Each structure stands twice: as C-alpha cells, then as structure tokens.
C-alpha cells in the first residue's frame, strides 16, 4: 500500500531546502559548516563505537583480541567499500535538489535504488565472508585464531546489510539538510554498543557471559538500532517526510540504479585502495619488529582521529558542490569547492602544528610515556608523528578534493589517481625506503606521506582544471 500523500507533498520542487545560492564565500562557509559539523561529529562518534569493541574484547585475552581484529578487518573492508558504493546517491540527490525539477520524485527514486543496492550488493559478500575461517587459513593465520574469527564473523555478518543501508539513509538525510541526525543516531549507537558489550561479553543483570560471541551480537544489535532510527527519522522528520522516501519501495528504476553503480564503484574502490594501503603498511612494520607495529598503530590511530574532520568536510562538500552542479551555477561550484578545500586543509594545518609541537601529549593518551619499558615504543612513535604532521595536510587535501570531485559526479579518474598514488608511488616508496635504504619504519611512513601527497596534488589539480577537462555542466539559463 502506498504511503498517503501529505499536504506538504504537493509541490514537486524544493526551494525550502535548497534556497538561493550563497552570494559570498562567507555565506558558503556558513552553509558548509552547518552541514560538515554534524557529519564530522558523527565520524568521531563512530570511531568511539569501534573503540568500545576493542576495549571489551581485549579483556578476554590475546587469542580473542586477535580473532576479533581479523574478523573486524575483513568485515570493515567490505562494509566501508559498500558504504562508499551506496553513498554515491549523495551527489545524485544533491544535483536533483540543485536542479529543482521534480526533485521530490527524483530524490525518492534515487534513495529507493540506493536501498535496493545496499541489499543486492551486500549479499554476495555475506556469502563470501561466511567462509571467513577458510579465508584466514589460506592466509596462513593461526588455526585457533582463525576458528574463533570465523565464528565471530558469521554472527557479525548479520550487521552488514543494516550497516550499509544505514549509510545510504545517512547521506540522504544529510543531502536533504538534516545532517544533525547523523550525530544523534551515532551517539545512540555508541550507547547501545556500550550497553550491549557490558551485558553480553561478561554477563551482567542476569545476561549470559558470551565473550567474543557477545561482542558480535552487540554489534548486530547496534547496526539494527541505527537502521531503525534512521528509518524513523526519514519517515517522521517534518522536512524529510514530504519525499515519502519509502513509498513504492518495490518499484525499480534501473537507469537510476545503473547511475549510482557507475558513480559508486570507483568510490568503493578508492576506499578499498586507501584502507588496504594502511593495512599493508602494518604488515610491512611486522617484518621489522613488534615495537614498530605498536608505534605504527598508535601514530596511525592519532592521525585517523584527526582525519575524521576533513572527511566530514569532504562529505559535506560533495553535497554542496553537487547542488551547485545540478543548478548549473558555475560560480557556485567554484565557490563551494574552494571554500571546502580551504576548510579541510586549514584544519589539518592546525592538527599538523599540534602534532609537531606536542607529540608526547598525544602519545600519552595511549601509553605511559614515562615508563622505562615503553621507551623504544615512544621513541618510534615520536618519529612517526613528525612525519604524520605533514601527512595530515596531504590527507586533508585529498579527502576534500575527492569530495568536491564527487559533487561533479567525477569518480572514475580519481579512482585511477588513487590506485597510482597509493600503490605505485606510496607503497613503492615505502618498500624502497623501508627496506632498500633501510630506513625501516620511518621509510614506510615517508612512503605513506609521499603517496598521499601525490594523490592530493593530482586531485586538486583535476579540480582546478575542471573546466578544461569538461567536468562542468552547461550553465543554467
């Protein structure tokens, strides 16, 4: 049965949400920050959700922690790639809002196909990762760890479709001007996951102590809770319900489906290429020594926390540039893109300065920097954080540049740039400096920084050459 029309559904355009294009860079900055701030906050809260799992599972022992780490790694690589795939509906929806032509109907169709895609694309990976134990044994992992990881992963896979669908709902809500819900719902997820782990891992209030299984069940409950929360928001929020997003959910729009896939597959591959690069760097560190692995993990975690801010700016930039793209407003496109790049790079310049000036302070959040047994770990982490200070600038530039290019619905060439920069230049330099020149961990981190520098430079160049490269729409009017 179709959802009944509401009185506010009668207009098929959405001037209330899009509004007039910003007249100045200051106006665009305000609009960008209104959108980026809750998205960045949600990204930071999502990291806290993952940290809770580690905190609880670590108390179960080394084998359980290793099993959970391997299982979550396989799951997260797939989940982030699929989230990038369905997230391609964001620039499509933003362009539809910018064009304002039958936007209600067009937005609903794009959302519907993104939700279809979240299910259809996830199912093959659910089948593949259900064989997690075999995959880990093929990778020569410890049989006991592989067995526990396989069991953990089979339960965790129940969270995959809800997590990917929630990602599609999140970017849709943000594109429709309600990004604040992402922060609220991720905070809810944090509370649910904390309660779930506390009740099920060790058993409290009469619940069974399920150990590693309990942590997996908690993650599933958290993903389902997020899915239901987003569904409620998209149905009930006064500014969103006019779109009747779940109306006619059975209808297919294969041309729209193919458009989202066309844009989304390169985004998914970019996420995979970048994530795999840092995982491979960790494996290279393992060839050097245990201390290098620990220092690498600490430095990378610090960098990852800071990265969530420009990542949120890049997500917002996709929507802002996408709306300007749909409107055919070339001045707005230029203004939105450069403002976003300025915010992202400027923030990372601040974090780079803080890392340069106070590296021990950041490391002390993870280990006791004054303990004699940690002296080698601290010394190595300090070296890596010096490089991470430069790393921050390039990382902020590349994620925002990728975001503004997604707003222009340009994803294929950025994927090629990412493959070349991360793996040919970055990984090649890491191996050459780390092992050929024997700079060890420092060489590997320089390789990561060089790879990010090349990717950021090429993406910013592509953005600056957008007119000559034919990336712009025909001017409106």
Rounded CA-CA distance 179/427 in Å is 36
Q: What value does the mean pLDDT take over residues 130-151?
A: 85
> Residue 12 pLDDT > 80, yes or no?
no
Q: Decide: 86 and 164 in contact? Cβ < 8 Å.
A: yes
pTM of the model: 0.86
Q: Would you tell me how many other CB atoms lie within 10 Å of the CB of residue 133?
A: 21
> Residue 65 pLDDT > 80, yes or no?
no
Q: For residue 7, what pLDDT is reported?
A: 32
Which range is least confidently modeled, 146-150, 187-191, 229-233, 327-331?
146-150
CA–CA–CA angle 352, 354, 355 (5° rounding):
65
CA 460, 464, 470, 473 dihedral sign is positive
Q: For residue 410, what pLDDT is reported?
A: 96
Q: Is 197 in a helix, a strand, or coil?
A: helix
> Residue 56 pLDDT > 80, yes or no?
yes
Q: What value does the mean pLDDT take over residues 205-224?
A: 91
Q: For residue 101, what pLDDT is reported?
A: 60
pLDDT averaged over every residue in the chain: 88
Q: For residue 151, what pLDDT is reported?
A: 92
User: Which residues make Cβ contacts (< 8 Å) with residue 285, sequence separation at least 6?
Assistant: 292, 293, 296, 441, 444
Which range is least confidently modeled, 61-75, 197-211, 246-260?
61-75
Q: For residue 17, what pLDDT is reported?
A: 44
What are the tens digits of pLDDT across the range 158-171?
999 999 999 999 99
Q: What value does the mean pLDDT take over residues 20-30?
A: 84
Q: Locate 31 and state its tokens.
A: 């609009």
Distance of CA 423 to the CA centre of its chain: 20
- Dmax of the chain from CA atoms? 70
Q: For residue 10, what pLDDT is reported?
A: 32
Distance of CA 331 to the CA centre of its chain: 29
Q: For residue 132, what pLDDT is reported?
A: 87
Q: For residue 19, what pLDDT is reported?
A: 56
CA 362, 364, 365, 367 dihedral sign is positive
Q: For residue 416, what pLDDT is reported?
A: 97
Which tops the pLDDT comparison, 23 or 406? 406
In 139-205, alpha helices (H): 143-156, 160-175, 180-200
Q: For residue 9, what pLDDT is reported?
A: 33
CA–CA–CA angle 419, 424, 430 (5° rounding):
120
Q: For residue 5, what pLDDT is reported?
A: 32
Q: For residue 1, what pLDDT is reported?
A: 30
Q: For residue 477, what pLDDT is reported?
A: 59
Q: Decide: 210 and 203 in contact? Cβ < 8 Å.
A: yes
Confidence of residue 185 (pLDDT cuts 50, 70, 90): very high
What are the tens digits of pLDDT across the range 348-375?
999 889 988 888 988 887 778 888 888 8
Q: For residue 102, what pLDDT is reported?
A: 61
> Residue 380 pLDDT > 60, yes or no?
yes
Q: For residue 4, what pLDDT is reported?
A: 32
Rounded CA-CA distance 90/96 in Å is 10
Q: For residue 462, what pLDDT is reported?
A: 97
Most confident residue range from 12-21, 52-61, 86-95, 380-389: 86-95
Which tops the pLDDT comparison, 305 or 416? 416
Confidence of residue 142 (pLDDT cuts 50, 70, 90): confident
Q: For residue 470, what pLDDT is reported?
A: 94
> Residue 318 pLDDT > 60, yes or no?
yes
Taking the alpha carbons at both ends of the chain, their separation in whole angstroms is: 40
> Residue 8 pLDDT > 50, yes or no?
no
What are the tens digits of pLDDT across the range 263-306?
999 999 998 998 888 878 877 887 887 778 778 878 888 888 88
Residue 400: phi, psi to the nearest 5?
A: -75, -40
Q: For residue 23, what pLDDT is reported?
A: 67
Percent of the chain with pLDDT over 90: 56
DSSP 425: I
Confidence of residue 148 (pLDDT cuts 50, 70, 90): confident
Confidence of residue 14 (pLDDT cuts 50, 70, 90): very low
Q: For residue 445, what pLDDT is reported?
A: 94
């Amino acid at each position: 049965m179709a959802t009944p029309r509401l009185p506010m559904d009668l207009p098929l355009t959405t001037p209330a949400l899009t509004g007039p294009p910003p007249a100045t860079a200051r106006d665009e900055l305000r609009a960008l920050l209104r959108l980026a701030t809750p998205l960045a906050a949600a990204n930071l809260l999502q990291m806290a959700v993952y940290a809770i799992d580690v905190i609880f599972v670590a108390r179960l022992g080394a084998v359980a922690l290793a099993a959970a780490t391997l299982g979550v790694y396989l799951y997260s690589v797939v989940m982030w790639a699929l989230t990038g795939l369905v997230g391609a509906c964001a620039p499509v929806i933003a362009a539809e809002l910018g064009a304002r032509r039958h936007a209600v109907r067009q937005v609903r169709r794009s959302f519907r196909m993104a939700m279809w895609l979240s299910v259809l694309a996830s199912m093959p990976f659910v089948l593949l990762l259900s064989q997690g134990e075999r995959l880990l044994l093929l990778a020569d992992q410890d049989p006991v760890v592989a067995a526990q990881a396989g069991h953990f992963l089979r339960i965790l896979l129940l969270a995959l479709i809800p997590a990917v669908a929630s990602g599609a709902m999140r970017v849709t809500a943000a594109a429709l001007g309600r990004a604040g819900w992402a922060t609220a719902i991720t905070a809810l997820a944090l509370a649910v996951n904390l309660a779930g782990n506390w009740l099920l891992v060790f058993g409290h209030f009469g619940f069974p102590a399920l150990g590693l299984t309990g942590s997996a069940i908690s993650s599933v409950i958290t993903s389902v809770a997020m899915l239901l929360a987003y569904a409620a928001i998209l149905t009930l929020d006064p500014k969103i319900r006019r779109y009747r997003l779940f109306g006619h959910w059975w209808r297919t729009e294969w041309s729209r489906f193919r458009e989202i896939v066309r844009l989304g597959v390169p985004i998914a591959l970019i996420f995979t290429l970048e994530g795999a690069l840092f995982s491979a760097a960790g494996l290279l560190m393992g060839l050097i020594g245990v201390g290098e692995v620990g220092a690498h993990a600490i430095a990378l975690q610090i960098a990852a926390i800071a990265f969530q801010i420009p990542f949120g700016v890049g997500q917002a930039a996709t929507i802002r540039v996408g709306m300007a793209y749909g409107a055919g407003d070339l001045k707005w496109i230029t203004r939105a893109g450069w403002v976003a790049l300025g915010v992202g790079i400027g923030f990372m310049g601040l974090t780079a300065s803080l890392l340069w000036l106070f590296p021990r302070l950041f490391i002390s959040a993870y280990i006791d920097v004054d303990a004699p047994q940690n002296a080698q770990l601290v010394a190595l982490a300090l070296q890596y954080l010096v490089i991470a200070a430069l790393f921050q600038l390039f990382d902020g530039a590349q994620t925002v540049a990728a975001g503004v290019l997604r707003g222009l619905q340009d994803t294929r060439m950025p994927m090629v740039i990412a493959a070349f920069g991360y793996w040919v230049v970055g990984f090649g330099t890491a191996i050459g400096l780390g092992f050929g020149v024997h700079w060890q961990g420092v060489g590997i981190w320089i390789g990561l920084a060089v790879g990010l520098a090349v990717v950021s430079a090429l993406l910013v160049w592509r953005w600056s050459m957008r007119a000559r490269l034919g990336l712009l729409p025909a001017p409106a009017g």
